[in-house]
Structure 1
């Protein structure tokens, strides 16, 4: 009887150890899932929610606010301000396209800005007809860095339901 009790006691101890290891593994899996969710950052937006409009020309540089949001995973893009705020440190890729109907005296141009500093510009000037210009850039961002587009002074930017003027970005990898 003692031998049987020892065997049962050993099996109970083994089961307790197995259950403990299973709980640890389950917690690790949940932590990895949450970590993976945080690292999913992407947005894509166009200028207008409906209709068509030509913005500008303005006598000063003006931040562009892209109101028609197609994708906003992690909610890092704010459609009320036009600002993308990096939720974590990493390498991000941004692309934007600026549309315009040709005009003899006004080009179309927008600059990508990081924390107030000019990074690059998309510029197009044609006298008539439709034109567009686009750019892309990959940037290392720190948590809280802000990226947005700024329309250059004395330029015009066009958008309509075909979504000619867009701004997109996504996290490539964390650092």
Structure 2
């Protein structure tokens, strides 16, 4: 009761001082109230403010995650697709480079005679023409002794030949054959003209191991010397 009385007396004194100030013409009261906050109350207030700030910040972060999450995922997916595409293209380039560098290279070119002077070659001597003067034989697919080209790999090949005959009593007939089967030919019948020429070309799909040869027709004859009138050439266009 004593404390209450003191507070009441103190309040009356503040009120009288305020009234007196107004009466004396002061613009503002000198003192209207006093707020007493002890240390414990101050700490509680700060903790409440910090709690509100934490809740607000958490809500902001959740909103930001929900807003940016799909876009980040989409970006990650796009980056993954791009990296996969680059990896595939890199692999394809490496495979193509490997095939180009390590792939089989095949090319040959030869003429019939590898000795000075002229030589008549008849069908009766050998139905297979063996071109002995090698200009090129990359891959060693052509055998100048047997006169056979053996495909080292499955692929598309190009072959061409030229012929020359120097006689008036025999025809000039030559064919490209695959495994003994005639493909393309060049033929000139016998005539009073002593010199006859011919030639032909072909693109073939061959399996590995198939053989290509140049063969005489029956009663045919060719003539060659170191001038290289009779030639046979071929090369691999691309493997399959």
TM-score, length basis structure 1:
0.76
Secondary structure of the structure 1 residue equivalent to 2:158: strand
Counterpart secondary structure, 2:140: coil
**Greater relative contact order: 1 or 2 (C-alpha under 8 angstroms, separation 6 or more)?**
1
Q: Which residue of 2 aligns with 1:119?
A: 183
> Residue 56 of structure 1 is aligned with which of 119, 122, 139?
122
Q: How many residues align?
A: 147
Task: Give the Å deviation of 1:61.
Answer: 6.7
Structure 1 residue 36, shift from structure 2 partner: 3.0
Alpha-carbon displacement from aligned partner over 1:5-56 (angstroms, at most 9, x marks no partner)? xxxxxxxxxxxxxxxxxxxx9xx97x95575343311000111101211112
Relative to 1, partners in 2 of residues 1:57 and 1:40: Cα closer, same or farther, differing over 3 Å?
Answer: closer
Q: CA RMSD in A?
A: 2.2
Change in Cα spacing, 1:32 to 1:149, as seen in structure 2 (3 Å) is same
> Is the aligned partner of 1:95 residue 2:160?
yes
Give the structure 2 partner of residue 169 of structure 1: 234
Query: How many angstroms apart in 2 are the aligned matches of 1:152 and 1:37?
Result: 40
Contact between 1:109 and 1:121, CA under 8 Å: does it hold in 2? yes
Q: Per-residue CA shift, 1:94-151, capped at 9, x if unaligned?
A: 0011111141x31111111101111111112342232210000000001111000011
Q: How does 1:9-158 map to 2 (within 5 A)?
A: 32=97, 36-51=101-116, 52-56=118-122, 58=124, 62-103=127-168, 105-125=169-189, 126-158=191-223
Normalized per residue, the structure richer in helix is 2
Gaps of 5+ in 1: 1-24
Q: TM-score, normalised by structure 2?
A: 0.56
Larger radius of gyration: 2
SS in 2 for 1:96: strand
Query: Which SS does the other structure have where 1:94 is aligned?
Result: strand
Using the alignment, how far apart are the partners of 1:170 and 1:96 within structure 2? 12
Unpaired stretches in structure 2, ≥5 consecutive residues: 1-89
Structure 2: how far apart are the matches of 1:36 and 1:127? 53
Q: Distance in 2 between matches of 1:143 and 1:164?
A: 30
